[in-house]
Amino acid sequence: MGYQIVRLEEVTSTNDVAMASPASYREGTIITARRQTAGRGQRGNRWVSEPGMNLMFSLVLEPTHVPVERQFRISEAAALAASDAVRRVTRGAVACDIKWPNDLYVGDRKLGGILIEHSLQSEYLSRSVIGIGINVRQREFDPSLPNPTSIANELPPDAAPVAPDELLAAFCEAFSLRYAQVGTDAGCKALHADFTARLWRGKAQESYPYRDVASGERFEATVAGVDADTGELILRLFSGEIRRYWFKEIEAIF
Average pLDDT over the chain, rounded to whole? 93
Residue ranges making up the domain that contains 67: 4-197
Write the pLDDT tens digit of every residue in 41-57.
Answer: 544 455 566 788 999 99
Is 203 inside a domain boundary?
no
Whether 169 and 220 map to the same domain: the answer is no
Q: What is the pLDDT of residue 211?
A: 98
pTM above 0.85, yes or no: yes
For helices 164-181 and 185-197, give the axis angle rounded to 10 degrees: 130
Low-confidence ranges of the chain (pLDDT < 70): 39-49
For the chain, the domain total comes to: 2
Whether the Cβ atoms of residue 79 and residue 86 lie closer than 8 Å to each other = no
Q: What is the pLDDT of residue 43?
A: 47
Write the pLDDT tens digit of every residue in 77-90.
Answer: 999 999 999 999 99
Q: Where on the phi/psi map is residue 88: left (φ > 0), alpha (ψ -120 to 50), or beta?
A: alpha
Write the pLDDT tens digit of every residue in 180-215.
Answer: 999 899 999 999 999 999 999 997 778 999 999 999
**Listed residues 175, 197, 219: the one ending a domain:** 197
Rounded to the nearest 5 degrees, what angle is found at the Cα of 129, between the Cα atoms of 39 and 109?
Answer: 50
Is 237 inside a domain boundary?
yes
Whether 116 and 21 map to the same domain: the answer is yes
Q: Express as a percent the part of the chain with pLDDT over 90.
A: 87
Whether 163 and 229 map to the same domain: the answer is no
User: What does residue 232 show for φ and ψ, rounded to 5 degrees?
Assistant: -65, 140
CA pair distance 43, 251, nearest whole angstrom: 11
Q: What is the pLDDT of residue 41?
A: 52
Whether 220 and 149 map to the same domain: the answer is no
Whether 74 and 135 map to the same domain: the answer is yes
Spatial neighbors of 20 by CB under 8 A, at least 6 apart, are none
Is 202 inside a domain boundary?
no
CATH number for position 107: 3.30.930.10
